Amino acid sequence: MSNLLKDASILLTPTAYENGRMNAIKPYKDLYGSELVTNGDFSNGLTDWVVDDGTSWTNVNNTAFCDGNNGLIKQNITSAQNKIYKVTFDTIATNSSGKELGVRIDGGTYSWNLYPTGTHTIYLTAGSSNYEGVLFYALGGWTGSIDNVSVVEDLSGDFTFSRGSAATRVNAQGLVENVQIISDELVSNGNFSQIGTEEVLNGNFSQEGSELVTNGDFSNGSTGWILSGTNPPIIENGLLKFSFSNGTYSRTRQNIGIINAKITYTVVNSNVSTFQLRDYGGANSQLIPATVGTHTIYRNFTGNGISFQSGGVDSGILEIDNVSVKEVGQNWTLGSGWSIGDGVAIGSSATGTLQQLGILQSNKTYKLTYTILDYVSGSKTLRWYSSWNFTIK
């Protein structure tokens, strides 16, 4: 049977746990790996070594001597990425004041130092450039020799661990007792990544209310609609029909008590290109499409409803069906220059605010995210106020 101490790579002693660390005893023979450098004492000159610039490092008295010019000397060794290596070497520095010599393993981090005359021991982590090996790089006029270079893998076996339950042992009285208790993590949000629930309502501006128009398909005659004007429209065969003529006007309206609205309508027959959309009282005229097909208009009304009216043409016919009006922009207060579009809030060049009140608390920190879909402002800087044209979602 083999000897436990002889063959073990790590030996744990009983109850050797203290302050989150497991103490380990590792036999001396396995503390470091085998020597990886060949001709580290330069007894064969620079055999097995490569001088990249060809002139700065030379063999002087069986040492590698740097003459003060920037340059490197290296030897390819068998190393493993992210492994730790112990590097020892002697220096005889003739000029290291303010100068530096760098050492690294396979593209890992350089160890820069003056490295005056003496023996030096450093620990380096290997990088991923397996072709580079161990490398010495003289910089800024470092002059001197290196000798007795050694590179061995560090096989130290200490490690740390944590646990969420009690460690126990049997004491001299034969009773089980706690050695040390480490509870579960007591700090909440220790990495500061926690984000609370969404505070904004209708943040993507896609919310639509219920249908507000009565008899939008005109199947019940003029129910819900007021037809007026010097040449009022008529409702016939489930269609709203306008007959425009010079010097007259035609209007139909419905009081629906809306402010921000999505309006859809279908033009069944027409020989005009536009007609007018107004507030219920007739103000704020807007030309909208009168071409055959279904159209969608977003509008911020200042009155209590909608009004369709002739305008912009002298004569023609227009037949409409399936008028729908639904509220949009719920939970938002739109200041001057703001309106709601198809799942977006649109800001014009006027100065005004888009706001939602009463959702935040003082002395708390909030994360704000938003998407700018298009933005026309010249050289101005985007803020939450001032004069720009942009769409926010």
251 and 215 within one domain? yes
- Per-residue model confidence as pLDDT tens digits over 36-75: 999 999 999 999 999 987 678 999 999 999 988 888 999 9
Q: How many domains would you assign to the chain?
A: 3
Q: How confident is the model at residue 162 (pLDDT cuts 50, 70, 90)?
A: low
- CA-wise closest residue to 301 among 321, 264, 327: 327
Q: At 6, is the pLDDT very low, low, confident or very high (cuts 50, 70, 90)? A: low
Asked if 229 and 212 sit in the same domain, the reply is: yes
Residue 189 lies in a domain: no
d(CA 56, CA 259): 82
Q: What is the pLDDT of residues 320-346, one digit of tens each?
A: 999 999 999 988 888 887 888 888 988
- Residue 17 within a domain: yes
Alpha carbon distance 207, 203 (integer Å): 9
Q: What is the DSSP string of 135-154?
A: EEEEESS-EEEEEEEEEEEB
Of 380 and 22, the structure prediction assigns the larger pLDDT to 22
> pLDDT, tens digit, for every residue of 270-302?
999 999 999 887 788 889 999 999 999 998 877
pLDDT score for 385: 40
Look at residue 27 in the predicted model and tell me its pLDDT.
Answer: 47
- Any domain includes 102: yes
Report how far residue 93's alpha carbon sits from residue 63's, in angstroms, rounded to the nearest whole number: 12
Phi, psi dihedral angles at 4 (to 5 degrees): -60, -45
Which residues constitute the domain of residue 172? 4-31+158-180
Confidence band, pLDDT 50/70/90 cuts, at residue 32: confident
Which residue did the predictor score with more confidence, 237 or 363? Answer: 237
Does some domain include residue 191?
no
* 40 within some domain: no
Q: Are 76 and 25 in a shared domain? A: no
The reported pLDDT for the residue numbered 257 is 81
Number of helices (H), then strands (E), belonging to the chain: the values are: 1, 32
Cα atoms found within 13 Å of the Cα of residue 199, Cβ hemisphere only? 15
6-15, 16-25, 166-175, 366-375: range with highest mean pLDDT: 366-375
Residues 27 and 174 both lie in one domain: yes
CA distance 126 to 85: 7
Distance CA 3, CA 29 (A): 14
Task: Rank 55-59, 168-172, 264-268, 297-301 by mean pLDDT and report only the highest.
Answer: 264-268
Per-residue pLDDT band for 157 (boundaries 50, 70, 90) equals low
Residue where one domain finishes, among candidates 153, 168, 198: 153
Flag whether 95 is in a domain: yes
